[in-house]
Structure 1
């Protein structure tokens, strides 16, 4: 069974991006993938910012990435780019840290003006880490997410498209193990 790791790079504990990461992990579990969710904001700041890969929490996070067959990168959009928190974590990975992995880039944001963050900011970093396959990325407008308690409800304008991207990601795990 493939292992998929969602890596969310939002600094906010009440992040829509993180909840969407949880949603994607649950959906992938429905396809019987073993899923985990690494919330970069929960890693200790000093070793993260100091690139202390020997720190136990940082070493565990890097090992989670190394053991995964698929990676979902979930980021909010800040200043027309992906989060600095996610970039800081990705910088800790070895140069070939995504070799043999399928990667699904996801971003949330308030305007379609930020749509290209995925292709012009995040995708080059993912490719530089040696990803085997980067599936179609997905940008989710903040206004397409409503909350029912702590659970996100994705509005129909985006729900079907996100389902298609998740299915495409699952197929990439199956066809290229």
Structure 2
């Protein structure tokens, strides 16, 4: 499974990244095989986000669009996600993330903006065609000492719903996997 964590924090190796990686770890703890994890820190590419001809952007966007699970993480800035994420996603065409399962993750100093992930980040992902099969994760950074406990509880709740979807996915088929197997489009 190809998993990408896309981090929109202006600081590298942030608590936001830690929370996103914890979400992946807890959601996929029982996966039959170890996922292939890519982490894209947009702060490392900030100088080229507004240059469409930039060398790394097409590769980064392709990595994100070809993910079998995408975790998009941002700290809360002005009640929503960062400009780094906005600039990155502005480079996609409509439906540029068609069918990519995506999980919105946001961090903040308090619960005052806890709905930001649901009212800001989720609609962005859905607008780009991603499938958002879980509730967003909003994590208050003053509780980093409880990271595994809190993210584990969130993941357990989400896994209940995801497991209920599995029979439906089996019934309708898994087109992304079929397309990938025959070399067709994703």
The normalised TM-score by structure 1 is: 0.80
Work out whether 1:57 is the aligned partner of 2:56.
yes
Give distance in 1, aligned partners of 2:90 and 2:163.
28
| Runs of 5+ unmatched residues, structure 1 | 147-152
Give distance in 1, aligned partners of 2:165 and 2:8.
23
CA RMSD of aligned residues (A): 2.5
Query: Is this contact kept in 1: 2:134–2:158, CA < 8 A?
Result: no
Tell me by how many angstroms 1:64 deviates: 0.2
Tell me which structure has the larger Cα radius of gyration: 2
Query: Is this contact kept in 2: 1:29–1:35, CA < 8 A?
Result: no
Give distance in 2, aligned partners of 1:96 and 1:170.
23
Work out whether 1:127 is the aligned partner of 2:126.
yes
Give distance in 2, aligned partners of 1:9 and 1:41.
7
Tell me by how many angstroms 1:96 deviates: 0.9
Tell me by how many angstroms 1:66 deviates: 2.1
Distance of aligned partners of 1:93 and 1:168 in 2 relative to their CA distance in 1, 3 Å threshold: farther
Tell me by how many angstroms 1:78 deviates: 1.1
Give distance in 2, aligned partners of 1:154 and 1:122.
21
- Per-residue CA shift, 1:45-92, capped at 9, x if unaligned? 1x2123x1x422111101101211221111100111111111111111
Give distance in 1, aligned partners of 2:157 and 2:91.
27
Structure with the higher strand share, 1 or 2: 1
The normalised TM-score by structure 2 is: 0.77
In structure 2, the partner of 1:67 is 66
Work out whether 1:154 is the aligned partner of 2:155.
no
| Runs of 5+ unmatched residues, structure 2 | 175-186
In structure 1, the partner of 2:137 is 138
Between the two proteins, the alignment pairs up a number of residues equal to: 166
Tell me by how many angstroms 1:165 deviates: 5.4
Query: Is this contact kept in 1: 2:16–2:106, CA < 8 A?
Result: yes
Q: After TM superposition, where is structure 1 displaced by more than 3 Å over at least 4 residues in a row?
A: 24-30, 165-177
Q: 1:73-92 residue pairs with structure 2 within 5 A?
A: 73-92=72-91
Q: 1:158-177 residue pairs with structure 2 within 5 A?
A: 158-164=150-156, 167=159, 171=163, 176=169, 177=174
Work out whether 1:43 is the aligned partner of 2:35.
no
